[in-house]
Amino acid sequence: MSRAPTPDGARVLLLHTGGTIGMKEGERGYVPAPGFLREQLERLPQLSDRSADRRGHDFVTPRFSHGRRAYYDLIEYDPLLDSANLDLRDWARFATDLATHEADYDAFVLLHGTDTMAFTASALSFALEGQTKPVILTGSQIPLAQLRNDGLDNVLGSLGIATEAPIPEVTLFFHHQLFRGNRATKHDASGLDAFTSPNIAPLAQIGVELDIRRDLVLPPDERPFRVRTELSRHVAALRLYPGMTHEILANFVRAPLEGLVLETYGAGNAPDLRRDLLDVLEAAIGRGLVVLNVTQCLRGTVSGAYAAGRALAEVGVIPGADLTPEAALTKLAHVLGRGLKREEATSMLMASLRGELTID
């Protein structure tokens, strides 16, 4: 679907993958319903100006404050999925679909369930190399079809930012805030303010004005555009807890595991008096397992401040700085999927590929 550029607006592709935003109320609660989101978009005047020339697109919004409109098309996935059902294959599919339409649109908005949105956003940030156009993930806690809902603000905000202030990163827009996708995490199961970005301020906020933190936006990614969909499925996350036995750890790190996100205490600490656990990790790392240390705390970073943290580094665990667990897992899948030598994989894991961690 090739579209001519529009001087008074942006061409946006809206990809509906599923999630609460497009759900319909059924006998057993909210269910995904094919075609239902399109009906809602047609019904809402803020999202569809039916008196305006759509220039061949499915929808056009009214004018945003700078006078520009979003001319947008809707693609609905079949089947629509609760994001709890998504996995690495879906991330690869979304990345490939974005690449297929890359040349025809100025920006992309992915409607997605909130439960695993931060994982998909992180995975896409690593998959889209040389990205020059905005990719914004959004969704809602209450379906767009309900009278009182947060979906309208979230979709309108995403289309508005894509049109008025395009930020060429994978971002996540929710409750008036635009987060870097690989820094975001869902921190509230029921509040409308469901996401946060604990280690970096939002890239933009919508209040009376649209306030953009240009100083935080990544410089253009100069690499040629390409999509990387080779992901290792053999990655896992393990939250450390007091009393973990070495048998449990040894079982967990067995083949075919290739990469482990170890969620440790505080500033990256593990019990340095538990030689049995450290021995299991050391042996697994010796066999080729890549272990990345991130903190269980919502905010903060892995540091070498404590002996209890250094013990992990001494057996070869890689410090993951202030990566979120979502970014850590998807980054491991991405880096290990590329089949690099251990040194190269380690330096990629410790580097900032797409602004996902803070280099001390």
What tokens were used for 8? 């008074």
Q: Closest CB to ligand ASP among 115 and 356? A: 115
Options 10, 48, 138, 139; binder of ligand ASP; rule CB under 6 A: 139
Phi–psi pair at 136, nearest 5 degrees: -115, 125
x/- letters, 93..112, toward ligand ASP (CB under 6 A): --------------------
Count of residues in contact with ligand ASP, rule CB under 6 A: 11
Query: How far is residue 157's CA from residue 357's CA, in Å, rounded to a whole number?
Result: 26
Site for ligand ASP in 140-159 (CB under 6 A): 141
Cα dihedral 165→355→338→100 (10° resolution) = 0
- 3-state secondary structure (DSSP) of residue 353: coil
Q: How far is the CB of 113 from ligand ASP (least distance, A)?
A: 2
Active site residues: 20
Query: How far is residue 31's CA from residue 50's CA, in Å, rounded to a whole number?
Result: 28
What tokens were used for 246? 């070495």
Q: How far is the CB of 144 from ligand ASP (least distance, A)?
A: 11
Q: How far is the CB of 217 from ligand ASP (least distance, A)?
A: 27
Q: How far is the CB of 41 from ligand ASP (least distance, A)?
A: 17
Number of helices (H), then strands (E), belonging to the chain: the values are: 9, 19
Is the torsion defined by CA of 333, 339, 343, 348 positive or negative? negative
- 3-state secondary structure (DSSP) of residue 348: helix
Asked if the bond preceding 256 is cis, omega within 30° of 0, the reply is yes
x/- letters, 10..29, toward ligand ASP (CB under 6 A): --------xxx---------
Residue nearest to ligand ASP (CB): 113
Q: Closest CB to ligand ASP among 22 and 259? A: 22
Cβ atoms within 10 Å, residue 271 = 18
Site for ligand ASP in 67-96 (CB under 6 A): 82-84
Q: Closest CB to ligand ASP among 131 and 177? A: 177
Q: Closest CB to ligand ASP among 151 and 320? A: 151
Q: Closest CB to ligand ASP among 108 and 174? A: 174
What tokens were used for 72? 């947008």
113: contact with ligand ASP by CB under 6 A: yes
What tokens were used for 290? 């890549």
Q: How far is the CB of 20 from ligand ASP (least distance, A)?
A: 3
Cβ atoms within 10 Å, residue 272 = 16
- 3-state secondary structure (DSSP) of residue 224: coil
What tokens were used for 344? 């190269």
Query: How far is residue 125's CA from residue 333's CA, in Å, rounded to a whole number?
Result: 13
Q: Closest CB to ligand ASP among 83 and 301? A: 83
Q: How far is the CB of 40 from ligand ASP (least distance, A)?
A: 15
Which residues of this chain interact with ligand ASP, rule CB under 6 A?
Answer: 18-20, 82-84, 113-115, 139, 141
